[in-house]
A and B are shown apart, each in its own frame.
Chain A
Amino acid sequence: MLSPKIKYLLYLADNALILGHRNSEWCGHGPILEQDIAVTNISLDLVGQARNFYQYAASEIGNNTTEDSLAYLRDVREFKNCLITELPNGDWGQTILRQFFFSTYQYFLYTALKDCNDEQLAAIAEKSLKEVTYHVRWSSEWVIRLGDGTAESHQRMLTALDNLWNYTGEMLIPSAYEKEINEALAIKGADSLAEKWNRKIKEVLEEATLPVPQSAWSQQGGKEGMHTEHLGYILAEMQFLQRAYPGVEW
């Protein structure tokens, strides 16, 4: 049975790894060279964050656990990432809208974590926050460009909004282990995450001439290991090499 702290670290790590992996699928397929590089830079930032959280989790778990065994040798039900991170990329609009939703969440979360009473977690959050601040800037600008762009780009953003909105609530509804950690590590501002997130999203969507959806219902389950069918395919691709050739290195 994993402690709430380990679950929490894995939650942070899995979010970053899975979203990083999704973004990396754009490598070589970006709409233009410069944005191909931009989105894969974000991938690298996220995978880097995942490594920091996995390393910390591995040291807490012990028993020869490593960052690699956590990333490559756990199965779907053990992953705790939010469902929104594992959804298919869709078009460029959907990818950047998801990035905007998730980066905004990470921004407020890491801002709260950097002042928590766990030194190592606070340090990782502080380092990651610089990266995430840029991700928010980059993605929000794209949301505005496309939302307030041509008729086609506006329509595509509406579709993306429709596809993603019901997956946003999960980020903001704390699981049992998040509640325990918020208490145990004295994470200030954890209870106002939803309010801050909603305010920022509203501000950007309005500037993008996009409606703020009113639906409050949300898909959930990822935080407890109940995933969409998409995560299995991601893991199959990501973990294949380590599963087929255990311990292989290059």
Chain B
Amino acid sequence: MLRKFYYGDYGESKNGAADISTSGEQKKEWPLWEVFIRSRQGLDHKHAGSLHAADARMAVENARDVYTRRMEGVSIWVVESKYIHASNPDEAAEFYDPANDKAYRHPTFYDLPDELKHM
């Protein structure tokens, strides 16, 4: 049976590059890591992209070299891609569509006093 993989979902049974070392083959690929960068003005870390690295320390340094060359960031998080689990695109309908007709969840029906700013 064919097993599907989704972006970022390396699954428990297939640990990305990590399982190559146990399969008897020579380990050629470093594991994949996802990089999150917080910019100077930003309050939160945003996904910047991914890269390969042998361990967390190397991943942070690689992220520094690959993703902060143009002063993009002041803080870096990395996480091995295999630890990120993604929702399944095949289930998009039942996951997301039910929210479509629930406009009342947006607070758009309130009359705001004029004095209230930044809403």
Contact = CB atoms under 8 A, between A and B. Distances in A.
A141 interface: yes
Interface size class of A (residues with CB under 8 A): 10 to 19
B18 interface: no
Interface string B50-68: 0111100110011011100
Nearest to B59: A34
B116 to A, nearest CB: 46
A33 B62 CA distance: 10
Contacts of B30: 32
Contact of A145 (B54, B64, B65): B54
A6 to B, nearest CB: 33
Interface in A184-227: none
B66 A37 contact: yes
Interface of B: 30, 51-54, 57-58, 61-62, 64-66, 69
B55 to A, nearest CB: 9
A34 B57 contact: no
A38 B69 contact: no
A99 to B, nearest CB: 14
Given A33-B52, A34-B51, A41 B65 contact: yes
A141 B57 contact: yes
A32 B69 contact: no
